[in-house]
Amino acid sequence: MAKQLAFYFDQTKCTGCKACVIACKDKHDLPVGVRWRRVAEYSGGLWLVDERTGTMTQDVFSYYTSYSCNHCDDPICVEACPSTAMRKGENGIVKVEPEICIGCKYCAMACPYSAPQFNEAKGVMTKCDFCSDRLAAGQTPACVAACPSRALDFGEVAELRAKYGAMASIEPLPAASVTKPNLVISPHHRAQVSGTGTGRIGNPKEI
Amino acid sequence: MLHELPLVIFTIAAQMSAGSFIVLGLIHLLGAKVPQETMDRVTDPALYAVGPLLVLGMAASTLHLGSPLRAANSLLHLGGSWLSAEIFAGSAFAGLGAVFAFLQWKKLGPHVLRQVLAVLTAAVGAFLVFAISQVYSLRTVPAWATYFTPVRFFITALLLGGLAVGAALVIAAQRREAKGVETPEAAALVGRSVRGIALGGLFGLGAKYIGQPAYIGYLGTHPEQAARESLDLLVNTYGVYSAAQNILTFAGIAALFFMLYRMADGNAGKRLMPTAAIVAFVLVLAGEVIGRMLFYASMVRIGV
Ligand code: SF4
Ligand code: SF4
C-alpha cells in the first residue's frame, strides 16, 4: 500500500485530446458541468522583430495541462470544510463523505485547482477519489488508462519525484507552495513557472 | 452583481446585530451614572430589535446550502475551520442575546447578573464579526486575505449597529413624548447617545472612504494576477457600483452632519430627528449592502 499516491503528467506528450476528462466523466457518471479532471490550454506569445532585415517572426506557444484533485499535503479544502466531510484518508487520498457534507461549497471556493465540484442534484460536493474502487481491484485510474498518448500515470509520490523531479508549479496552475499538491509534471519545453506567466488560458469555459 | 445574495444578507445582518449589541453596551458603560430605570427605559426598545435581525440572517445563510437539513454538521470542524467557528459564534450570540433580552424584559435576576450577561454577549458578538472576516481570509483569494477584511467588517458592524440603535432610540423617545411620559433625564440620555453615535458614524464613514486608496494600492501591487483581476472588477466591470457606494457614503456623512447641527439647535430641530435618523441609517445601509455585494463580486481565486 502506498503512503501517498500522486498523479504524474507528462506535458511533453499531451495533445489536449481530453480523453482523460471523458473517461473520468464516464467512469463516475458525472452530470453535465461536473468535471473531476480538466485540461487547460495555456497559450501566449509575441512578435520577434529583426532590425537588420526588417522582418517579424511570430513566437507563439501553447501547451496543455491535465489536472484533477492533487490530494495535497496541505489541503486547503480539508482545512476550510466546516463539517469534516472533506478528509484525507487511506493512501493520502482526499475524499468527500457524502453523508456528512452539507453542500456549503466553501471547499470549492478555497481550492486553487477547482477540484471540488458541486453536484446540484445530490446537493453535495463531489471530487476525484483517485478511482479508489479501481485501485482496490488492481486497476489504474480511469484517466490514466484512457490517455492515448500515455501522458498520465500515477504512483507513490516519492518514487515519482525520484524518477521525474518535483515540478508542479507550472502556469496556469498555482505555485505548489500554496497547497503542496501531490502532482509531478514533466514540463513542456515552453512551460512557464507559476507566477511568471505571460500567456492566458485559451479554453476558460472548458475547465 | 447578485453573487451569493444569501451570504450578503447573512453577513450584513450578523454584523449589524453584533454591532448594535456592542453600541448598546457602550451606552450602558458610558452612562453608568444614569439611574438604571432611565437607562432601561431608553435602551430596551433598541434591544428587542437586535434579535429578529440575527435570526433573519442565520435563516438566510442556510439558503445557499446544498443539504440544509444537515446544517448542524457545520459545527463538526470546530477548532479547525473558521466557518465552523463562525456558525458556532453566531448561534452562541443569538442564544445569549435572546436570554439576555428575556431577562431584561421581565427584569428577572439581579442587575449585576444581567450586566455580566450583556458584556459576555457583546464579546461573543465581537468574536463573531472577527470569525466572519477569517472565513473570507482565504490564502487563495488575495482580494480577501488581508487585514482590510476584518477592519472593514468591524466598521460595518459598528456603523450599522450604531445607526440602527440611534434610530431605535429616537423613535422610542418620540413615542414616549407623544404619550407625554418622557422625562428630562431620558431625553438628555437619548440626546447624548445619538450625538455620540452620529460622531462615531462620521468617523466610521470617513475611515471607510480613506481606506479605499490603500486597498486599491494593495490589490494593484500584489504579485498574484488574481489581485489585479479583482481590481479590474472593482474599478471597471462594477465601477458604477463602486461609485454609487461612494456617493452613499457622502450622503450618509451629510445626513449625520444635519442631525448634529439640528441637535445643537436645541428644541426646534427635534421634530426632524426621527426622519433624519432613519434617512441616515437607510443611506448607510444601502452603501454597506452595495459594498458587500462588491466584496463577493470581486472574488477572484488564484490558480485554475
Ligand atoms: S487539489 Fe484542491 S480539493 Fe484536492 S486536496 Fe488539494 S486543495 Fe483539496
Ligand atoms: S461543500 Fe461539503 S465538503 Fe465542501 S466544505 Fe462544505 S461541507 Fe465540506
Q: How far apart are CA B289 and CA B12, in angstroms?
A: 7
Averaged pLDDT for residues B68-82: 94
Say if ligand 2 is within 6 A of residue A115 CB: no
Q: How far apart are CA A191 and CA A186, in angstroms?
A: 10
Q: What is the pLDDT of residue B266?
A: 65
**pLDDT tens by residue, B121-145:** 999 999 999 999 999 999 999 999 9
B267 pLDDT more than 70: no
**pLDDT tens by residue, B141-175:** 999 999 999 999 999 999 999 999 999 999 999 88
Q: How far apart are CA B56 and CA B82, in angstroms?
A: 21
Largest CA distance in chain A: 69
Whether B3 contacts chain A with CB within 8 A = no
Q: What is the pLDDT of residue A70?
A: 98
Q: What is the pLDDT of residue B50?
A: 77
Q: What is the pLDDT of residue A36?
A: 98
Q: What is the pLDDT of residue B168?
A: 92
The reply to whether residue B71 touches residue A102, judged by beta carbons under 8 angstroms, is yes
A55-67 and A38-50: which strand pairing?
antiparallel
Per the domain annotation, does B132 fall within a domain? yes
Pairs of CB atoms within 8 A across A/B? 108
B271 pLDDT more than 80: no
The reply to whether residue A173 touches residue B70, judged by beta carbons under 8 angstroms, is no
Per the domain annotation, does B195 fall within a domain? yes
Q: What is the pLDDT of residue A1?
A: 55
- What are the φ and ψ backbone dihedral angles of A117, each rounded to 5 degrees? -125, 125
Three-point CA angle B275, B276, B277, nearest 5°: 90
The size of chain A, in residues, is 207
Closest residue to B304, CB basis, from A122, A124, A172: A172
Average model confidence (pLDDT) for chain B?
A: 91
Residues 194-223 (B) with a CB less than 8 A from some CB of A: 223
**pLDDT tens by residue, A78-109:** 999 999 999 999 999 999 999 999 999 999 99
B269 pLDDT more than 60: no
- Write out B32-56 in H/E/C secondary structure: CCCCHHHHHHHHHHHHHHHHHHHHH
Q: What is the pLDDT of residue A178?
A: 97
Q: What is the CA radius of gyration of chain B?
A: 20
Alpha helices in chain B (DSSP H): 5-30, 36-62, 82-106, 111-136, 148-179, 184-221, 225-232, 239-264, 273-297
Average model confidence (pLDDT) for chain A?
A: 96
Averaged pLDDT for residues A52-61: 94
The nearest CA of chain A is from the CA of B39 a distance in Å of: 41
For residue B77, what is the nearest residue in chain A, using CA coordinates?
A82
Confidence of residue B63 (pLDDT cuts 50, 70, 90): confident
Per the domain annotation, does B145 fall within a domain? yes
Q: How far apart are CA B115 and CA B227, in angstroms?
A: 45
Question: What SS3 state is found at A169?
Answer: coil
From the CA of B81, the nearest ligand is 2
What range does the domain containing B115 cover? 5-297
Domain CATH for B196: 1.20.1630.10
A124-126 and A117-119: which strand pairing?
antiparallel
Q: How far apart are CA B137 and CA A154, in angstroms?
A: 33
A174 pLDDT more than 70: yes
Closest by CA position to B72, among listed A104, A125, A76:
A104
Three-point CA angle A83, A173, B137, nearest 5°: 45
Whether A2 contacts chain B with CB within 8 A = no
Whether A122 contacts chain B with CB within 8 A = yes
Domain count, chain B: 1
Three-point CA angle B2, A41, A33, nearest 5°: 45
The reply to whether residue B67 touches residue A103, judged by beta carbons under 8 angstroms, is yes
Whether B139 contacts chain A with CB within 8 A = yes
Closest residue to A102, CB basis, from B67, B141, B224: B67
Q: How far apart are CA A119 and CA A101, in angstroms?
A: 11
B57 pLDDT more than 90: no
Per the domain annotation, does B279 fall within a domain? yes
Say if ligand 1 is within 6 A of residue A38 CB: no
The reply to whether residue A172 touches residue B223, judged by beta carbons under 8 angstroms, is no
**pLDDT tens by residue, B234-265:** 999 999 999 999 999 999 999 999 988 888 76
| A115-130: burial string, b at 16+ Cβ within 10 Å, e else | bbbbbeeebbbbbbbb
Closest residue to B70, CB basis, from A38, A102, A174: A102
Q: Are B140 and A173 in contact (CB under 8 A)?
A: no
CB count within 10 Å of CB B218 equals 16
Q: Give the DSSP H or E segment for B166.
A: helix B148-179
The reply to whether residue A82 touches residue B76, judged by beta carbons under 8 angstroms, is yes
Q: What is the pLDDT of residue B286?
A: 97
Q: How far apart are CA A20 and CA A10, in angstroms?
A: 13
Share of chain B above pLDDT 70, in %: 97
Closest by CA position to A184, among listed A142, A145, A153:
A153
Averaged pLDDT for residues B4-12: 91
Rounded distance from Cα A113 to ligand 1 centre (Å): 7
Q: Give the DSSP H or E segment for A88.
A: strand A86-88
Q: What is the pLDDT of residue B161?
A: 95
Per the domain annotation, does B36 fall within a domain? yes
From the CA of A81, the nearest ligand is 2
Closest by CA position to A116, among listed A138, A135, A101:
A101
Per the domain annotation, does B303 fall within a domain? no
Whether B302 contacts chain A with CB within 8 A = yes
Residues 52-111 (B) with a CB less than 8 A from some CB of A: 64-68, 70-71, 73-77, 80-84, 87
Say if ligand 2 is within 6 A of residue A102 CB: yes
Q: How far apart are CA B196 and CA B263, in angstroms?
A: 12
Confidence of residue A192 (pLDDT cuts 50, 70, 90): very high
Sort out which chain B residues have CB atoms less than 8 A from A80's CB and list them: 81-83, 138
How many Å separate Cα A14 from the centre of its chain? 13
Q: What is the ipTM, given to two decimal places?
A: 0.91
Sort out which chain B residues have CB atoms less than 8 A from A102's CB and list them: 65-68, 70-71, 73-74
Domains and CATH numbers, chain A: 5-71+130-206 (3.30.70.20)
Per the domain annotation, does B302 fall within a domain? no
Q: What is the pLDDT of residue A2?
A: 65
Question: What SS3 state is found at A206?
Answer: helix
